[in-house]
Structure 1
Amino acid sequence: MELTEIEALLKDKLGLAEVHVRGEGSHYTVIAVSDSFNEMSRVKRQQAVYAPLQDKIADGTMHAISIKTFSEADWQKERQFHLPQ
């Protein structure tokens, strides 16, 4: 699965302000940014991002996923530490 497809899927399903996906083989890192995360616990944030990907995980397309979630304000402070320059 292409990284852009995963980004488009998550952005569409979750209405994210930003999403960044990196992957190698079947291992992926997802950074999701949305103010909707402000009202969620850390576990609920993970579950929200994980849910649209369940089919890809079940069929083996995606094996391991690391998820980082940020509110838009937090992302402005943290982005320099999480994206390559």
Structure 2
Amino acid sequence: MEIAEVRSFIENGLPGCQLTVDGEGCNFSVVVVAEAFEGLSPVQRQQKVLATVKDPLATGALHAISMQVYTPSEWERESAKAEGSATSTE
């Protein structure tokens, strides 16, 4: 599979999400930020993402996918933390 294919599956299943995809072959890692995750547990969020790629998982085209899943407000906090640690090391 290609990054663009993985991106397409997830974006189609979670419209409006912010998405970063990395990897190659049949192993990928993703960061997904979606309002659809509001009120859901981490496991429920991951299940939503996995549901978007169930077909390539079933065929073996996608073997492994690791993921980080955030709501928009959680992502803002994570981004602020990352920026803060980056500026404090300069």
Is this a same-fold pair by TM over 0.5?
yes
AA aligned opposite 2:26 = S
| Distance of 1:74 and 1:49 partners within structure 2 | 17
- Does the 8 A contact of 1:16 with 1:33 survive in 2? no
Q: How many residues align?
A: 81
CA distance in 1, matches of 2:32, 2:58: 21
Q: Which residue in the other structure is 1:22 paired with?
A: 22
Any unmatched runs of 5+ in structure 2? 83-90
Name stretches of at least 5 consecutive residues in structure 1 with no aligned partner: none
Q: Normalising by the residue count of structure 1, what TM-score does the alignment of the two structures yield? A: 0.82
Aligned residues with identical type, % of pairs: 33
Contact 1:6 1:21 survives alignment (8 Å): yes
Farther-moved stretch of structure 1 (71-80 vs 13-22): 71-80
* Residue 68 of structure 1, CA deviation: 0.9
Q: Give the TM-score normalised by the residue count of structure 2.
A: 0.78
Residue by residue, what CA displacement relative to the aligned partner does 1:9-60 show, whole Å, maximum 9, x if unpaired? 2112112430111113311101110122111111110100001111101111
Tell me which stretches of 4 or more aligned residues in structure 1 moved more than 6 Å. Answer: none
Is residue 17–residue 72 contact of structure 1 (8 Å, CA) maintained in 2?
A: no
